[in-house]
Structure 1
Amino acid sequence: MTTPAAPVERRVPDAVHRRRWAILGTLMLSLLIVVLDNSILNVAIKTISTPAPIGLGATQSELEWAINAYTLVFAGLLFTAGLLGDRLGRKKALLAGLVVFGAGSALAAESGSPDQLIAFRALMALGAAFVMPATLAVLMNVFERDEQPKAIGIWAGGVGLAIAIGPITGGVLLDHFWWGSVFLINVPIVILALALMIWLVPDSRDPSPGRLDPIGVVLSVVGLVLLVYGIIKGGQLADFTDTKVIGTILAGLAVLALFVVFEKRSDHPSIDVGYFKNKAFSSAITAISLVFFALMGVTFFSVFYTQSVRGYSPLQAGLLLLPLAAAQLIFAPRARLLVDRFGNKATTTAGMLIIAAMLAAFAALTADTPIWILEVLFFLMGTGMAHIMTPTSVVIMQALPREKAGSASALSNTFRQVGGALGIAVLGSVLSTSYRDGIQDKLTFLPAGVRHTAGESIEATLGVAAKLGPKGRALVSPANDAFLHAMHVTALWGAGVAVLGAVVVALFLPGKAAARTGTEEPELVAADH
């Protein structure tokens, strides 16, 4: 006589389990505005760099800081935001973060200068720091372990959806409204997300949270700001041997080293350094950091390639990114199927190598390369990204106990954002330095002050050329040539970083057998309200 199978014991309350997919949809809406904001900004970069009244006349370094102000505040506060979410409740963290993000978006839309835009972007990042880790933490607490890979895959696919919607929405808005509309669009999305969050999402928390670590937070923020500022300044000056540049970079590294030492010795660290003894966890974190280092830097220059060199409008440039987003949306939810068959190591290594190959292919693009080739490159990049994000996110989130989901999500997103920030800073500096080296001998007929400004970026050169009238037309072709050379150099740097990521993953990420093993999870502490 066959013994009936024992019923599966659920760790998630039945009321929560029944509405888990609706909750996931609400979480993805919250995620949408955080990711959409950055992808919208990428399309608006050219417009914001245009002099008033069309834009703000932002310089190359101000544009980088408009992005990095968001990224640095976000990354620096994720530790604390994740801990507060685990301690006070992830739903509360989500609601508070959305309110702050919405307020920052409204203020950013009315910015009257690049400095104001940078400040309000930092305020938006404060809100986003509470939203991003809480979305994954809630996800881990409303899905059973066997459904978590599927849910995380859909969550990662949502990132692809946001990347698609962002540039297209931004392009439509820029075609019909002023540049600030790309930030104001966040406000109605925030209001809808708040209403759904209050209605659907349960609260959950860590039953034994640690104390907060203000010293560690300050050290991490100060260290990152100094490091990235030094790198941006080096690119702006086209001289990384400058005393101020070297001093700032070394000071940043010293503060970050002090942060690590402090965290090791603290009895209530922001980040438990012991997490990194887990090789799978460490390699997955490293892979995410390196791939975003490469991709964020390349995304930064691709906007100028499509708009400044190829002459596409913001909307057209947004549509050109559609294959990148579509590939993520298609493959991210299905990546778990390849992981089941081939394992985390093989799937993620293949994804990293695809990214590296596509970045290297950017070095072959010219001013008249058939646009379908760029579309194929973007699609394959999105495919590679999908097969990196899903398996690494699953490894990271399942490596730590369920009640530490906020901390795990904060760590994952912190390293992703830091990798992206450094990618924009380092590769942006490589782009800026290479461009200046290539264009400066063509600017000798300009006055010294104008010559320096014109050599800062292709947009600056084209702006000066437009003011010069017929005489300035001779600068257009040299500007395009100098930018293409700089783009090729930058793309190869990005490809090298992606190859390094592939090596790390191939050496340390668990293979097929290890990917199937799991550890027991602690009981969920949740309140269904």
Structure 2
Amino acid sequence: MTTPAVPTAPRIPEAVHRRRWAILGVLMLSLLIVVLDNSILNVAIKTISTPAPTGLGATQSELEWAINAYTLVFAGLLFSAGLLGDRIGRKKVLLGGLAVFGIGSALAAHSGSPAQLIAFRALMALGAAFVMPATLAVLMNVFDREEQPKAIGVWAGGVGLAIAIGPITGGLLLGHFWWGSVFLINVPIVLLAFGLMVWLVPESRDPKPGRVDPLGVVLSVVGLVLLVYGIIKGGELADFTDPTVLTTIGAGLAVLAAFVVFEKRSDHPSVDMDYFKNRVFSAAISVIALVFFALMGVTFFSVFYTQSVRGYSPLQTGLLLLPLAAAQLIFAPRARLVVDRIGIRATTTAAMLVLAATLAAFATLDADTPIWLLEVVFFFMGAGMAHIMTPTSVVIMQALPREKAGSASALSNTFRQVGGALGIAVLGSVLSTSYRNGIEGSLGTLPAGLRDTAGESIEATLGIAAKLGDQGRALVVPAHDAFLHAMHVTALWGTGVALLGAIVVAVFLPGRPKPAQEEADEEDLARAKR
């Protein structure tokens, strides 16, 4: 099975074509700040969880919400943002999104409580939702079809660059400034990207845009928030049979079901369900969700492993992530060469199996595992990601006509963000439940009022242990042991999700791409039949 033929797009203006690579650079800078924010936050999680004045004293559930407030708003608005860009112009949407993101970043930097941080992260997500789909949509409109796979590979490599820069930048900032500096750093980047975009990026829009669907947006966001809240609450209580947890999860699923029914019947849906009739498109977009489900959950606990168990600083943790980022930078632009040789199906299946193996490797890590083994794991994880994201992004973007690029990009990023949010919620809850069950037997000597708090996370246990002096030191080893066991369990869950993704790509994605001339002949034949 091959990607469906699409109509020939209008010729790209020569002036735009000449500066296409400079435009791609500006788009990557815009993408950089969206991804950079999350990768910086990864190394700042532990600092934000410490009590004031060093941090905000955020609990594990509040940390999960600081991440998921961003991902849920981002995911819920992406498709409508893509449609709005198609309608009023992608450049206008990009500029507006950058401005909102910059304002949200400045406010988040000066948050006085975890609740304020969560709220301002949601505002940042509002801006980011208008930036992300527009970058890929503009890319599809300034590059010819033959150059699109290469451009998308470079675009995907920009994600690897952000992953590399983010943790190191975050570590440097946390070593010299207060925790809010990890958000304030976004502001000068936003100003630079804004100016370059005004100068270089051309305006583009869909000649036949869809209508924005406010009710669909509300249903999707409310459904996802209820579902994720229920999952996180279940992990916090270590009890998924609690009536509140079951009611919230059930309500979330019901609202999401209503969203699907409404979208099918709407004449202007947020998500055009007809896209999913294409098995290749559906498989590619599902795999993106599964990959980020597994990876976001694992990334969440890896920071606590390196900092709380191994004792590394935020900067050292950022440096430890370099192999993952380097592998993405090296392989993402070259993944298309592997696809040309052995095909999309073989490339992505092998990459999913590599990813599953790296996630399983986390289940073998201990407090004294040689750190170079973790570096090897991160490198292969990045290599696997590069050979998944680039081919699937090409499949998704070329499955629809160029004028629908905003919709395709928004759907791809929506599924990625939803997958990541659910991964943090589900795997974070697995981690919380396993940790609480593992540490409870060691908390008997604590005053009754502290036991519940100490069982929330390894940071909560170690924080209380530090305040108790000699009595608290007896909790350090049990806390490490309980966390390592919880990490092993969570990693195996992530491995199972990655293996499911390998099955999906092996069954549904196409094999070797057809030669360009043969594909062009098929397109001509399809147009003649119409």
Q: TM-score category by the smaller chain?
A: over 0.9
Relative distance call for 1:256 and 1:462 in structure 2 (3 A) is: same
Mapped partners of 1:78, 1:204: distance in 2: 18
Q: CA offsets per residue over residues 403-434 of structure 1, 9 Å max, x none?
A: 11101000000000000000000000000000
Matched, 1:88 2:120: no
Unpaired runs of 5+ residues, structure 2, are 1-7, 525-530
Q: Report the secondary structure of 1:52's partner residue.
A: coil
> Which residue number corresponds to residue 496 of structure 1?
496
SS in 1 for 2:474: helix
**In structure 1, how many angstroms separate the alpha carbons of the residues matched to 2:427 and 2:515?**
34
Over the aligned positions, Cα root-mean-square deviation in angstroms equals: 1.3
Code of the residue aligned with 1:21 in structure 2: it is W
CA distance in 2, matches of 1:150, 1:209: 27
2:152 equivalent in structure 1: 152
Find the counterpart in structure 2 of residue 225 from structure 1: 225
Aligned counterparts of 2:212 and 2:421: Cα–Cα separation in 1 = 25
Q: Distance in 2 between matches of 1:125 and 1:212?
A: 19
How far apart are the structure 2 equivalents of 1:303 and 1:212?
39
Q: Secondary structure at the match of 1:204?
A: coil
C-alpha distance in 1 between matches for 2:25 and 2:321:
24
Asked if residue 416 in structure 1 is aligned to residue 427 in structure 2, the reply is: no
Which residues of 2 match residues 442-461 of structure 1 at below 5 A?
A: 442-461=442-461
Corresponding pairs, count: 514
Alpha-carbon deviations, 1:161-184, whole Å to 9, x = none?
000000000000000000000000
Residues 81-116 of structure 1 deviation map (CA, whole Å, 9 limit, x = unaligned): 010000000000100000000000000000000000
Residue in 2 that maps onto 1:23 = 23
Letter in 2 for 1:115: A
**C-alpha separation between the residues in 1 aligned to 2:471 and 2:442?**
13
| Structure-2 separation of matches of 1:23 and 1:288 | 26
Deviation of 1:445 (Å): 1.1
The CA distance in 1 between the partners of 2:185 and 2:123, in whole Å, is 16
Could you tell me how far 1:515 is from its partner in structure 2?
Answer: 9.0
Q: Residues of 2 paired with 1:514 and 1:502: CA distance?
A: 23
CA displacement, residues 342-391 of structure 1 (integer Å, 9 cap, x when unaligned)? 11111111111110000001100000000000000000000000000000
State how 1:189-200 maps to structure 2 within 5 Å: 189-200=189-200
Superposition pairs of residues 127-142 of structure 1, within 5 angstroms: 127-142=127-142
Contact 1:331 1:387 in 2 (8 A): yes
Deviation at 1:156, TM superposition (A): 0.4
The reply to whether residue 33 of structure 1 matches residue 29 of structure 2 is no
State the partner residue of 1:353.
Answer: 353
Encode CA deviations 1:22-48: one digit per residue, 9 max, x unaligned: 000000000000000000001000000
Q: Distance in 1 between matches of 2:353 and 2:91?
A: 38
Task: Give every structure 1 segment of 4 or more consecutive aligned residues whose post-TM-superposition deviation is greater than 3 Å.
Answer: 513-521
Q: CA deviation at 1:449?
A: 2.0
The question of 1:53 aligning with 2:65 is answered: no
Change in CA separation of 1:402 and 1:9 when aligned onto 2, cut-off 3 Å: closer
Contact 1:10-1:144 within 8 A present in 2 as well: no
Matched, 1:257 2:257: yes
Residue matched to 1:366? 366
Distance in 1 of aligned mates of 2:210 and 2:320: 46
Matches within 5 A, 1:36-185: 36-185=36-185
Provide the identity percentage. Answer: 83
Partner of 2:527: none
Please tell me the residue identity of whatever aligns with 1:282.
Answer: S
CA contact (8 A) 1:343 1:515 kept: no
1:326-345 matches, within 5 Å, as 326-345=326-345
Shift of 1:10: 7.1
Counterpart-to-counterpart distance in 2, 1:239 and 1:135: 42
- The separation in 2 between residues aligned to 1:325 and 1:508, in whole angstroms, is 29
Equivalent position of 1:297 in the other structure: 297
Q: Distance in 1 between matches of 2:13 and 2:114?
A: 49
Work out the CA distance in 2 between the residues paired with 1:251 and 1:44. Answer: 33
Task: Read off the aligned partner of 1:365 and give its amino acid letter.
Answer: L
Aligned-partner SS, 2:146: helix
**Aligned residue for 1:307?**
307
Q: Deviations over 1:221-257 (max 9, x none)?
A: 0100000000000000000011110111111111111
Distance in 1, matches of 2:163 and 2:74, equals 18
Q: Does the Cα contact within 8 Å between 2:106 and 2:187 map onto a contact in 1?
A: yes
Segment of structure 1 superposing worse, 443-452 or 45-54: 443-452
SS in 1 for 2:469: helix
Match of 2:507 in 1: 507
Tell me, yes or no, if the aligned pair for 2:340 and 2:513 is still in contact at 8 Å: no
Residue of structure 2 in register with 1:525 after alignment: none
Q: Distance in 1 between matches of 2:482 and 2:116?
A: 31
1:526 equivalent in structure 2: none
2: distance between equivalents of 1:9 and 1:422? 37
1:344–1:515 Cα contact (<8 Å) kept: no
1:402 match: 402
SS in 1 for 2:475: helix
Gaps of 5+ in 1: 1-7, 522-529
CA distance in 2, matches of 1:31, 1:59: 30
> Which deviates the most, 306-315 or 342-351?
342-351
Which residue identity is paired with 2:79? Answer: F
- Give distance in 1, aligned partners of 2:364 and 2:147: 42
